[in-house]
Chains A and B, each alone.
Chain A
Amino acid sequence: MATRVLFFGRLRDIAGAGERLVEVRASLRSIEDLIEFLAPEDDALRRALLDPSVKVAVDQRVVARASSIDGAREIAFLPPFSGG
């Protein structure tokens, strides 16, 4: 089952798209593994996703980076919010 990976704000520009479909295999256990998988040759994206100010939501819940992504349908990378 493909997982939707979503990029918001400046991350959308850096990733070049708001969404990517990824096949989460057994080797991808955590958010950290996913980042390495998404950006093996894109250092700018890798650094942007690893930035500690970026929150990660799995199925619309904010989680820690070491969290499992097993069975995730949607994983979103959220840079600092600026509403109001």
Chain B
Amino acid sequence: MADASVRIAAASFDPEAEIAAFRRAHPDAGAIVTFVGQVRGDAGAVKTLTLDHYPGFTDVEIARIANEALGRWRLDGVMILHRVGALEPGEPIVLAAAAAAHRRDAFQAVDFLMDYLKTDAPFWKKETALNGESWIEPRASDYEDKMRWAIKPKE
């Protein structure tokens, strides 16, 4: 049975420890693909990134994205771990992982998860930089990235 693990973390997490646990949980998988997103500092210009979320709603929406990936590819499991709260440059903000019998399914699933998280996961990012505060909205390219998955892969 493929499983989806979705967590929202209010405190800093250790991506290496999380990946090791995910790998141990899927000993029969031939391929483990992981993605770690970190807060960009933009050469000292960004001081803090603060993520807002909607408890009870955000988790359900992310689980839906994870389950969509399980339905599209042959996977043993997927994991999404996403930070909320105040983050500093260099801190991990998101971890997406997929375990599969073969690498292509795992690569595509993680790529898909990240594209969907950008536009469909209910988070709101505020950047505090040297020149003030601003809310970050998705770019046109984020929606274009998501559109790549509009056609489902053939069975």
Contacts and interface: CB of A to CB of B under 8 A. Distances in A.
A9 B117 contact: no
B56 to A, nearest CB: 6
Contacts of A82: 118, 123-125, 135-138
Contacts of A78: 54, 122
Contacts of B37: 84
Contact residue range for chain B? 20 to 34
Contacts of B91: none
Interface in B78-111: 82, 93-94
A54 B126 CA distance: 17
Interface string B29-66: 00000000100000000000000101011001000000
A79 B118 CA distance: 13
Q: Among A9, A13, A81, find the residue whose CB has the most chain B CB atoms closer than 10 A.
A: A81
A9 B56 CA distance: 16
Nearest 8 pairs of A and B residues by beta carbon? A9-B124, A83-B121, A83-B123, A84-B117, A10-B135, A84-B118, A83-B117, A82-B125
Interface of B: 37, 52, 54, 56-57, 60, 82, 93-94, 114, 117-126, 135-138
